Amino acid sequence: MNSFSDSVTTALGLVVSGDPALWAIVSRSLAVSATACALACAMGLLLGAWLAVARFPGRSAVLTLLNTFLAIPSVVVGLVIYLLLSRSGPLGFLGWLFSFQAMVLAQAILVLPLVTALTRQVVEDSDRDHGEQLSSLGAGRGLRSLLVAWDERYALLTVLITAFGRAVSEVGAVMIVGGNIDGFTRVMTTAIALETSKGDLPLALGLGLVLLGVVLLLNSVVALLRRWRERLDGGDLRMATA
């Protein structure tokens, strides 16, 4: 019990004192996940908005597949990306294995189905309400989906934050394709796993506290966004933006 409380105290000290090793890992972790989310959102938002209004043979099969990918384990994504990026793999020529780029690619692929599926759901629900009106005014299918997506921008920001939360807290994919190399590809989750196995509990706990803080911050932002959106829907635009 004493060792646990000692570890927590030391961990808090590391966080508060701005330990360079700890904050290097934290900043790398945030950079990997932010880049991955930016890439996944750029693709996923467009793909999801298009899927929401597109009607084509096999659409329901595509949606089933997409929903299946929502539950894909991160280690499986890591394994597939590892095989693709390994020397003998089709993307081996990139030389990305055990690099920042490999971790970004793995996390982007991990959260892409999440962003696409949630965007599709949000836009399709809203399109059911507004799509016909927009069509009657002359909007084509593509423009209609973009307008509806813009109209649901606050809900889609929530999707983006959820995706970031999923990316920053996963461990399997970055461990496999990043290799957990100290000072190079070590991120919060892989460092926690390693330091725990080594018995360096203060650093692991410190990182855990930061990770928890990040997730808490993300959830608070989501809650604030929701409240802001409700205020916008119930009041004056000038007041809300003032």
Partner 1 sequence: MRVEPACAGPVVQNAAHAPTVLALHGVTVSLGPAAQVEALRSITLALHAGERVALVGPNGCGKSTLLRTLHGLLPIAAGKRTVPQASRIAMLFQRPHMLRMSVRRNLQLGLWLSGVPWGQTRERARQALDRVDLMHLGDRNGRALSGGQQQRVALARAWALRPDVWLLDEPTASLDPHAKRDVEALIADFGDEAPAPGRLPPTLVFASHNLGQVKRLASRVIYLEQGRLLADLPVNAFFNHTFLEAHCPQAHLFVKGETT
Task: Work out how close the CB of 146 gets to partner 1 at its nearest, in angstroms, rounded to a whole number.
Answer: 12
By C-beta, is 182 or 236 nearer to partner 1? 236
Task: Work out how close the CB of 242 gets to partner 1 at its nearest, in angstroms, rounded to a whole number.
Answer: 11
What angle in degrees, to the nearest 10, is found between the helix axes of 188-198 and 201-233? 150
Q: What is the 3-state secondary structure (H, E, C) of 76-114?
A: HHHHHHHHHHCCCCCCHHHCCCCCHHHHHHHHHHHHHHH
Task: Work out how close the CB of 153 gets to partner 1 at its nearest, in angstroms, rounded to a whole number.
Answer: 8
Say how many residues touch partner 1, by CB under 8 A.
23
Choice from 1, 61, 71, 237 touching partner 1 (CB under 8 A) = 237
Please tell me the distance from the alpha carbon of residue 31 to that of residue 131, in angstroms, as a whole number.
37
Choice from 129, 184, 216, 224 touching partner 1 (CB under 8 A) = 129
**C-alpha distances in Å from residue 123, one per residue of 106, 145, 166, 219:** 26, 7, 21, 22
**C-alpha distances in Å from residue 137, one per residue of 73, 126, 145:** 44, 17, 14
Choice from 65, 70, 143, 216 touching partner 1 (CB under 8 A) = 143
Choice from 5, 87, 233, 242 touching partner 1 (CB under 8 A) = 233
DSSP annotation of 133 reads H
Kindly state whether residue 136 participates in binding partner 1, applying the rule CB under 8 A: yes
Tokens 């570890």 sit on residue: 7
Kindly state whether residue 134 participates in binding partner 1, applying the rule CB under 8 A: yes
**C-alpha distances in Å from residue 238, one per residue of 17, 34, 90:** 43, 32, 54
Kindly state whether residue 55 participates in binding partner 1, applying the rule CB under 8 A: no
Choice from 101, 135, 169, 196 touching partner 1 (CB under 8 A) = 135
By C-beta, is 143 or 212 nearer to partner 1? 143
Kindly state whether residue 61 participates in binding partner 1, applying the rule CB under 8 A: no
Would you say the C-alpha torsion 71, 73, 76, 80 has a positive or negative sign?
A: positive
Kindly state whether residue 216 participates in binding partner 1, applying the rule CB under 8 A: no
Please tell me the distance from the alpha carbon of residue 79 to that of residue 121, in angstroms, as a whole number.
29
Among positions 172-211, residues that touch partner 1 (CB under 8 A) are none
Task: Work out how close the CB of 120 gets to partner 1 at its nearest, in angstroms, rounded to a whole number.
Answer: 18
Kindly state whether residue 71 participates in binding partner 1, applying the rule CB under 8 A: no
Decide: helix, strand or coil at residue 4: helix
By C-beta, is 150 or 184 nearer to partner 1? 150
List interacting residues with partner 1 (CB under 8 A). Answer: 129-130, 132-139, 143, 147, 151-153, 232-238, 240
